[in-house]
Structure 1
């Protein structure tokens, strides 16, 4: 073991994971609690949550999270992890989820008895026994009010980094005040899932993290403070001082220590009293901390849904995507796009193709992707093929489920027109291109020419692929063709532990940085071994192919706008 150890957590919808790393970033130990496997019978959950479809509520029992902390640490102990060597803790929680503490909370947290279970001592500290989950969609009325309150969705995005969304905490708090006023009135403090978890280890209510706070629609990003007008909307003008007290102050630095670990964990599990608790952050910010992501690097998550994350110094908000404060680097932002239609849409096209002869279900799909040239332009004069494939209603753009196919001039995107079904063989390449084109369209104003290769067009420096789709060489190649990647496209493999690992790295950086100016990228980058976590899967930028997609990017945007106009008229 090299130097002190650091512990990172990930409190997700379905699991609580813990991972312990050494100062040289090597993983020492890990454990997890699977909520369905461990607690389904007790809490009546399914996939980690309870649902009330009549109201669109999706919630998690907070008691289950509390109980999981004792259990995950017991499992870490059983594996022989040297817990006494841990000097720092951080972690992540699912973004936007909120916990409502009552007036008993602070006293109970400060006076925990190591001879008793956490849950036995914290069962009476919650004003509401559930936490709204990120899948909750009960707040449409509140979203409408948030979008209109500052004048438009664009104004809300400019102030807070995002337009309103069902899952964002501001709309959830507003609904709580209106729908369950007794809960709101009995709430002394409101935590996010991340600061809730930090509070348990701190033995006090932890402040909300500077990055996670930007998933609430309440924080003024440019002003670095709570947005007074949005607080008024949430709590009424008279109720703003009370809401400020419930939310607490937000430290502007994502590093440093919040304080020493609670004596409960020292006495019960053998932590050192010197162990420090660093700020915990959201799961999306933690994901970009799972490697030293440099400015203009992008992570593309190709799971059931698709996500595009980029570290950028530019703040150019728009209602169709999210900007959040970077969790460690002041003045930088996390740019995020979320798509419901990712793997599900690709699988639907795959399943419409002839069945493969071998055991790989993607064999036929991949052959069609690789055998089809960009935009299916085989010879001079061929029309470029563009499409949208949405088995589910989509967020970006905000349209209902459906499939649309268009063609246009491949040289300049002119002559855009809708066309009929051109067959599943062409769909295979077009669906992957369409997903990547949407990401390129929305990130094009945030990228610049690669500093080490200024002769190349503006594009991401590197693209890291994660999730199930990252294992597919044809999908990786098509994403590289569309998005570029001056230094290549890489598959990132952190064993499904990106958020917990990001938390552990955050703890290490927060407590080992020489001063507040030492960046996360510099400190972690010096110790991070690429060969242990990433594999180059394609060259990324290809001269000619990249420009071909650029020629039709305007047509792709026009296609989306036409479909949007029909959907909303």
Structure 2
């Protein structure tokens, strides 16, 4: 068929994925490359190298170059006509940084289509051959230094949308400068994974994306500019060093739908792309995920995956050290709120396995006993509404809150006072099944409510990830978060790459609003083409006033329980 096509990529931790859609949002082709399998010669495990002694996690940049070449060849062999692709966008794993050499600009602009990206750019185009990964925890000293400089975690959140975190790029750049001063001096440009990827497509350095730049702890979200004090602290505390780092960073594109330019001749000659193919800014993987559906203000996405992640589209900029706020990737006046927990499926599965072992379960569904216990255990573990059971389960050290691993069980009453639960008061492991879900959902509600002003409730909750197929998970999520219009399962695979493809389509086809210097919003554009009945299914009614208020009554006690867990683990 002679139709225009739109390409979206997702350069994630373990693989690179691509989806191609047409103007009706129909999937034309998709493909992926797994780093550990398809680029096995690099020797990564789950896409990264890990230095346990130094808490470092990083990935070889050259591996990504090779993977992109493999992926494009896979798409070509599938019969995809690259000449039909009119626009390309993408997503990159957030917070990772790439350090370009002083030869990089020349190399990018003069690529030979007869040779691979890997052979021409690696290692010469990079002053550092590795990219720190979002799982990296090596920057404790740098985070403490920056937090002291700026005046504490709340001040950092007010300016940058987040307190200082190990994985955020500002602390990572500071550590790179301290650990590798010669390589830092040899660096001409610093990119995130997102605009590194865009730079490859353009054949020149791409600007930062308006949303992904917020994951650096360097960008002043309210004033929409680099915070020069923070840049100065990272650069070395002199005006000259600050200016040097500002030059290495470059600028940020404020329009998430603006074309950054046309595709590099390298891809035109090597793969047959049209020379008129446009490149749109590449954002982070989480911002791209919220573009996979027309997410309205006060809608929420919860991902039940290896980690548990909550994403909110909100008009409220109310920063806190407890969560992240980013500029919305496409819409001015909106923000993306994010909560990310290490202990997602691991904590749930640990309790599930303990329950199955205790009951000598031998059935085919490993969640059968767990789900039955959730359904048969009353709200907060008690039919007496004046008494409640609260548990905290961290098999791994947690990000939110910042707490070491451990398990804590408490009892509380109407006064909100906490006492340690005894074996006689807590039926282990049966009570733990409901308590782990309540614990994870209460933590999300506690932190999401300020972003959901004034009611504290979301409009809709969309669930994704492997756990979204478990109705017990969805039902309890609906009871605790209380979405006014219910809980919906999003029936999509590769949501992140798909969001990028949707953004590419919007960029090229969005209409200018009459008598205004603006374009139709991404959400309105997508909603006009979105076939809701085929994309989502309602799995829970959501808001039930009595039970929602019951859970609300223990939020203060739950916050105290977290504080006790934090203090007991120090």
Normalising by structure 2, what TM-score?
0.95
Is it true that 1:83 corresponds to 2:82 in the alignment? yes
Q: Is the 8 A contact 1:398 1:564 kept in 2?
A: yes
Kept in 1, the 8 Å contact 2:315–2:333? The answer is: yes
Shift of 1:487: 0.9
Among residues 407, 411, 415, which one is paired with 1:407 in the alignment?
411
Q: Which residue of 2 aligns with 1:447?
A: 452
Q: Aligned residue for 1:386?
A: 390
Q: For residue 23 of structure 1, what is the aligned residue in structure 2?
A: 23
Match of 2:508 in 1: 511
Q: Secondary structure at the match of 1:268?
A: helix
* 1:191 matches 2:196: no
Looking at structure 2, the residues matched to 19 and 530 of structure 1 have their Cα atoms a distance apart, in angstroms, of 20
| Counterpart-to-counterpart distance in 1, 2:259 and 2:230 | 30
Partner Cα separation in structure 2 for residue 158 and residue 176 of structure 1: 25
Return the offset for 1:459: 0.7
**Other-structure match for 1:482:** 480
Q: CA RMSD in A?
A: 1.5
1:288 to 287, 290, 293: 290
Distance 1:2 1:220 in 2: 45
CA shift for structure 1 position 464: 0.8
- Residue 346 of structure 1 deviates from its aligned partner by 0.9
Counterpart in the other structure of 2:365: 360
TM-score (norm 1): 0.95
Any gaps of 5 or more consecutive residues in structure 2? 513-517
> What's the counterpart of residue 262 of structure 2?
260
SS at match of 2:337: strand
- C-alpha distance in 2, partners of 1:363/1:317? 40
- Alpha-carbon distance change, 525 to 133 in structure 1, aligned in 2, over 3 angstroms: same
How far apart are residue 3 of structure 1 and its match? 4.7
Native 8 Å contact 2:39 2:67 kept in 1: no
The aligned residue for residue 453 of structure 1 is: none
> Given the superposition, is the C-alpha separation of residues 562 and 52 from structure 1 closer, same or farther in structure 2, using an over 3 Å criterion?
closer
Would the aligned equivalents of 1:349 and 1:428 in 2 still touch at CA under 8 Å? yes
Matched with 2:168 is 168
Does the CA contact (< 8 Å) of 1:413 and 1:553 recur in 2?
Answer: no
Between the two proteins, the alignment pairs up a number of residues equal to 556
Contact kept, 8 Å, 2:404 with 2:566, in 1: the verdict is no
Equivalent position SS for 2:380: helix
Please, which of 409, 433, 437 is the counterpart of residue 428 of structure 1? Answer: 433
- 3-state DSSP of counterpart to 1:310: strand
User: Structure 1 pair 541/2, CA: closer, same or farther in 2 (3 Å)?
Assistant: farther
SS across alignment from 1:81: coil
CA contact (8 A) 1:196 1:206 kept: yes
Of 375, 382, 390, which aligns to 1:377?
Answer: 382
- Return the offset for 1:388: 0.7
CA apart distance, 1:202: 0.6
What is the match of residue 152 of structure 1?
Answer: 152
| Separation of aligned partners in 1, 2:37 and 2:420 | 49
- Offset of residue 291 of structure 1: 1.0
Bigger drift between 526-535 and 154-163 goes to 526-535
Aligned twin of 2:308: 306
Partner of 2:515: none
Match of 1:54 in 2: 53
1:343 maps to 2:345 = yes
- Post-superposition Cα deviations, 1:337-393, rounded to whole Å, max 9, x if no partner, equal 111111111111111212445310000110111112211232465x11111111111
SS at match of 1:164: coil
User: What is the deviation of 1:416?
Assistant: 2.8
